[in-house]
Structure 1
């Protein structure tokens, strides 16, 4: 993906990610249904970090997608769709 967007845009994206504010204190205030999904092979947002995030949101559900990295909707669209459909039926 970095090659596709080019070096300048990729660098801008990385600077924006590094400069974004920490929202951790606000996570516990979330009071809406939440689904947290992580790829079991994600090395950017580790599954254990995603699980910890889900524990901070009251009533959140957590799911891991097997054989998946950081971009679950692109890597495993069928699995993501199935999870979302099941979750939305609740």
Structure 2
């Protein structure tokens, strides 16, 4: 899928995953997506990209951190909250 998106010229390609999901899907040592942006879901309540972060899959930093979910919004839908430095 990554190669296909790149072949079509997708400029801003990223992956939404955490360590457990990544390890279960591609194995803990595969780094084939580490050149892409990482959208890291960890609902720890901290709007930052460092609290609880440990590198995995070849990523050394987080592009976006999803730090909470199921928050009531003014439009009556539950939303997730993200932080982007």
Task: Report if TM-score (shorter chain) is over 0.5.
Answer: no
**More helix per residue: 1 or 2?**
1
**More strand per residue: 1 or 2?**
2
If you compute each CA radius of gyration, which structure gives the higher value, 1 or 2?
1
